[in-house]
Amino acid sequence: MKELFTTYVGEFLTMLTAVFGGWFYKRKKESVTNHNSSIDQGARAVNIYKEALEDLGICYEKKYKNIITLYESREELLRNEIMELKNKIKILRKENISLKRRIEDLKKQL
């Protein structure tokens, strides 16, 4: 009986040692694998942000060009409006002068 007990206990202790050794080795390997995967995920995140920033620059450049075009067309419209108003002022001054002369003529007739 003692012989049977020592045989099984020896095998049990061997099994426990093997399981512990496997667990210990696998734990280190899992730690390294998890660390590497977190580095890979960080690199992917950096690449995503990098692409987003590149796209953002292109998008802002397009918007900037659109705004420049818009302001240039707005400036042209305002310049045209200024020219029209200057011409209108000239016409009104001439009309004013002619009306003043007419008033003077009418005063003389009275």
Which one-letter amino acid corresponds to residue 107? K
Query: Consecutive sets of 10 residues in the chain, 110 residues long: mean pLDDT of each?
Result: 69 75 71 71 82 82 93 96 97 97 91
pLDDT at 103: 95
Task: Say which residue the tokens 């995140």 belong to.
Answer: 45
Residue 72's Cβ-count burial label (10 Å; 0-12, 13-18, 19+) is: exposed
Phi/psi at 13 (nearest 5 deg)? -65, -35
pLDDT at 52: 80
pLDDT at 2: 67
pLDDT at 56: 81
pLDDT at 31: 72
pLDDT at 4: 64
| Token digits of residue 81 | 């409006």
pLDDT at 7: 72
Q: What is the DSSP string of the chain?
A: -HHHHHHHHHHHHHHHHHHHHHHHHHHHHHHHHHHHHHHHHHHHHHHHHHHHHHHHHHHHHHHHHHHHHHHHHHHHHHHHHHHHHHHHHHHHHHHHHHHHHHHHHHHHH-
